[in-house]
């Protein structure tokens, strides 16, 4: 096999071994849509970064941190549950 394929296979296997238990923990904590929400807010961060003329990576970080904090606050409110 090609060296690239071996490294990709090893990386994929390592990632699968790490994210399997993490996925179970996320479902157990009832945060299944947290990652999906952050992924879509990352797209918002890229768009805002380009529109505002700043580095899109900085836009993604700022938007994702803001959305993550909002989600944690909303998760702790009992009225929404």
Burial string for 8-18 (b: 16+ CB within 10 Å, else e) reads eeeeeeeeeee
- What domain range includes position 60? 33-81
Asked if residue 78 and residue 46 are part of one domain, the reply reads yes
Mean pLDDT calculated for residue range 30-53: 89
DSSP E strands in 1-81: the ranges are none
Task: Tell me the average pLDDT of the chain.
Answer: 87
State whether 48 and 12 are in the same domain.
Answer: no
Query: Does residue 47 surpass a pLDDT of 90?
Result: yes
Is residue 56 within 8 Å of 64, Cβ to Cβ? Answer: no
Query: Is 0.75 topped by the overall pTM?
Result: no
- Asked whether residue 76 falls in the same domain as residue 44, the answer is yes
Q: Check whether residue 25 and residue 38 sit in a common domain.
A: no
In this structure, what DSSP letter does residue 24 have?
H
Tell whether 25 and 37 lie within a shared domain: no
């Amino acid at each position: 096999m090609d060296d690239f394929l071996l490294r990709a296979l090893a990386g994929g296997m390592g990632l699968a071994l790490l994210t399997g238990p993490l996925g179970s923990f996320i479902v157990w904590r009832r945060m299944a849509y947290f990652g999906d929400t952050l992924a879509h807010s990352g797209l918002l961060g890229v768009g805002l970064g380009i529109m505002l003329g700043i580095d899109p990576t900085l836009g993604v970080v700022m938007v994702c941190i803001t959305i993550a904090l909002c989600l944690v606050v909303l998760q702790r409110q009992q009225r929404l549950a």
